[in-house]
């Protein structure tokens, strides 16, 4: 597993994550996931490449696959993941589920992220449309916290990704008139 705390530009990633508000429009969830994947690729200094395969979003310089998931960390300590969709119906649903090498779980607005081995998934449940699982990351798996380990607050931005993305779309459409 890559040492993401060392290879990622955490301050820049934190600023960008702080702009990724949960969208009001359910059709924007896919766009949110793409923004997370592309930002991890961009701020990895060449260590992560977006490949966008079913169940494998990024390929690391360690030749391992990483799947990215936007989550809300649960439990009293705010470190567990419950009922995260680890495979959706978009993929080949007839194939038996095989976890990715690693999962990157991100809660963008809290600027909290971790990376765990796929073998840490448990309570894996497959339905006709998706596969859900639980995971209990440990403190050592987190490469980003809202406040780093020294108590220093991570950079924040007041920009709004979806607002700017929507404006860009309208400007693009208008350019054809």
Check residues 161 and 56 and name the one with the higher pLDDT.
56
Residue 161: C-alpha distances to residues 15, 37, 153, 168 (Å): 11, 14, 21, 10
Contact (Cβ atoms closer than 8 angstroms) between residue 68 and residue 57: yes
How confident is the model at residue 148, as a pLDDT?
Answer: 55
Rg, Å, the chain Cα set: 17
- Note the helical H segments in 53-109: none
Check residues 114 and 91 and name the one with the higher pLDDT.
114
Lowest mean pLDDT among 62-66, 69-73, 75-79: 75-79
How confident is the model at residue 145, as a pLDDT?
Answer: 79
> pLDDT tens digits, residue range 99-151?
999 999 999 888 899 999 999 999 999 888 889 999 999 989 999 876 554 55
Give the whole-angstrom CA distance, residue 144 versus residue 57: 19
Contact (Cβ atoms closer than 8 angstroms) between residue 147 and residue 14: no
How confident is the model at residue 29, as a pLDDT?
Answer: 82
């Amino acid at each position: 597993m890559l040492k993401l705390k060392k290879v990622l530009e955490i301050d820049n990633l934190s600023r960008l994550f702080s702009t990724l508000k949960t969208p009001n429009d359910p059709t924007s969830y896919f766009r949110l996931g793409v923004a997370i994947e592309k930002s991890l690729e961009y701020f990895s200094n060449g260590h992560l490449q977006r490949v966008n395969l079913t169940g494998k979003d990024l390929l690391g310089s360690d030749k391992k696959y990483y799947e990215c998931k936007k989550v809300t960390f649960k439990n009293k300590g705010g470190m567990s993941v419950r009922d995260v969709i680890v495979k959706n119906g978009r993929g080949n649903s007839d194939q038996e589920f095989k976890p990715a090498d690693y999962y990157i779980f991100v809660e963008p607005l809290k600027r909290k992220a971790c990376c765990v081995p796929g073998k840490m998934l448990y309570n894996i449940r497959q339905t006709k449309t998706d596969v859900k699982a639980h995971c209990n990351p440990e403190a050592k798996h987190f490469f980003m916290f809202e406040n780093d380990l020294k108590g220093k607050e991570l950079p924040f931005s007041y920009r709004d990704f979806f607002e700017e993305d929507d404006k860009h779309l309208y400007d693009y459409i208008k350019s054809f008139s």
